[in-house]
Amino acid sequence: MTKIAIIGFGVVGSGVAEVFYKNRQSIEKKAGRELDIKYIVDVRSLEGTVWADKAGTYEQALADPEVGVMIETIGGLTPAYDFSKRALLAGKHVITSNKELVAAHGAELLGIAKENNVNYLFEASVGGGIPIIHPLYQCLGAGEVEEIAGILNGTTNFIMTRMFRDKMSFEQALGLAQDNGYAERNPAADVEGTDACRKICILASIAFGSHVYPDNIHTEGIAALTAEDVAAAASAGYVIKLIGRAKKTEKGLMVMVSPALISQESQLANVSDVFNGILVRSSDTGDVVFYGRGAGKLPTAAAVISDLVDAMKEGGHIDSLGWEDSGRSNVADWRDDVTRMMFRTSGLGRTEIQRIFGTVEPIQGAAQEERAFLTEPVSGRQTEEWIRLAKAAGAEVRSAIRVLEY
Ligand code: HSE
């Protein structure tokens, strides 16, 4: 029998225990061995709960030779990094939902796992209940991945759906996302795009084989988006989504998180509420799209359990999951990214718009003093220059949002 320690008993950790005992028989069958949870480690007391007999400390679990797997669901870097590293060095598998830790230290922890012939697995770190990590390094491993793009944050997608479709206030929508256990402890990480950034960094690291660090990545959140942006986009046949994307270019990996216009015809356009959608574009397979619940207690817990089964079935280290820590020179300058743009401006006539922005496609139905339009493909650098010129001409640039082709 292999014993498990759950380190961190919040939304995900408690979900793991719930899913484990609900499906224990079939999990053991798939894992090919008997399993049980021996320790639950949490800063809060488990006294008076059904889990009281499992309460323990991290040091107890680490020193216990019966414990073969640690499930780290604490989140954040401290003490999760130290706990994970010491567990791997002690020859225990570590399974986590902690995207912050994987995005910051994934290459190192995977290396330690390899040296100790155990696994560091993190299916739950991206896409909640959607299997995406496993397909990316196994099923799609044969072909060359060219590009990944996805709606990777359930909270912001939920907020945008509720605000712009159901006319809820931002505060109400965020509160509901928090009540449902979707949001990060500090929801600024969701709203500012940081969470989506960590996730696209993890996917890019797997797909392209070198560690992509979140603090190298241009990241924009949803705070500046307005109902007017959404209406203008809709008039032109688009929806607006927060998109994390990564692709290979001649100048390096282009990785970015920002709100973007997506055609209403796109497979990503109808991904609403807490759902995530992830498109993987590969030379041989074409576009493959993964869809499902991107956050929430049980979907995320189910992804952790799938890693538990994998670790038990494989026994030793799974060699196909890993990437190099090739420094921070692998990422291209985001200003070299070229996309069409949607602008909303006021204080500029048609002639001035043409003078500054070149050939544009006007969007009908903008407010009277306002002009909304789509540009030809343009670099981030040129976009910054256009905004500068428009402001110098006395105009207000109300929004500048990328248009993506998926
Ligand atoms: N806060 C995250 C989200 C949780 O909303 O997507 C799942 O990673």
pLDDT band at 327 (very low <50, low <70, confident <90, very high): confident
Provide the strand spans (E) within 175-237. 218-219
Distance CA 138, CA 223 (A): 36
397 CA distance to ligand 1 middle (Å): 31
CB 219 within 8 A of CB 194: yes
CA of 202 to the centre of ligand 1 (A): 14
Q: Is the CB of 184 under 6 A from ligand 1?
A: yes
54 in active site: no
pLDDT for 368 beyond 80:
no
Sheet of 67-72: strands edge to edge?
35-41, 2-7, 67-72, 93-96, 120-121
Confidence of residue 119 (pLDDT cuts 50, 70, 90): very high
Q: Ligand 1 pocket test: which of 99, 192, 195 has the largest number of ligand atoms within 8 Å of its C-beta? A: 195
CA distance readout (Å), 232 to 223, 242, 319, 370: 17, 16, 48, 11
Q: Is 125 in the pocket of ligand 1 (CB under 6 A)?
A: no
Looking at every residue in the chain, the average pLDDT score rounds to 95
204-223 pLDDT tens trace:
999 999 999 999 999 999 99
Residue 285 confidence (pLDDT) above 90: no
- Residue 141 binned pLDDT confidence (cut-offs 50, 70, 90): low
DSSP code string of 84-108: HHHHHHTT-EEEE--HHHHHHHHHH
Ligand 1 centroid from CA 388, angstroms: 35
Q: Atom 8 in ligand 1: which residue has the minimum CA distance?
A: 295
Catalytic residue chosen out of the listed positions 199, 241, 247, 297: 199
- Least confident residue range of 38-47, 116-125, 130-139, 375-384: 130-139
CA nearest 366: which of 237, 228, 239, 164? Answer: 228
* C-beta 295 within 6 A of ligand 1: yes
Q: Using only C-alpha atoms, what is the Rg of the chain?
A: 23
The pLDDT of 105-123, averaged and rounded, is 97
pTM of full prediction above 0.75: yes
274 alpha carbon – ligand 1 mean position (Å): 9
